Amino acid sequence: MSITGAHTAARAGSDENLSAHLQMIQGVIGRMGQNAFNAKTWAITVMAAVFALGSTFTSSRTDAAIVALALLLFWTMDAYFLRQEHLFRDLYDAVVRGEAPMFSMDTSPHRAVVGSTLRFVVSRSVWPVHLITVLVVGARAFKG
């Protein structure tokens, strides 16, 4: 019996294993979604801190550049976690279709379908929030 055939036989004999596998993947999807949300939250918090601390915080363009760099890092992290979420959603679908080995958490076969992190950097759910935070901090630095 082939490896794929063995996985199919194991899958057919155990709905509990399938359910446990899907729950594991759902847990990862939830964590990735939460991490992406946290990246947005931190970016907004940093932007708010710039306003709360006023001109003392961004008294130089160097300070503003450091803050903008941090905001770009949050932007990239948000895109990374969103991509991971999509990879695991694709894995979830493959498990439901019976195309992935039981208890596999390997998302590498799904990378071509999901795309690169750069694709998510410019995603509609990512770029507006982060671009606004970077522009606001930049405008604050050049204003005063």
DSSP string covering 39-53: HHHHHHHHHHHHHHH
92: CB partners within 8 A, 6+ apart: 22, 25, 26, 29
Encode pLDDT of 75-122 as tens digits. 999 999 999 999 999 999 999 999 999 999 999 999 999 999 999 999
pLDDT at 8 (0 to 100): 55
pLDDT at position 72 is 95
DSSP-derived 3-state class of residue 124: coil
- State pLDDT tens for residues 4-51: 554 554 555 588 999 999 999 999 999 999 999 999 999 999 888 887
Domain boundaries defined on the chain: 3-143
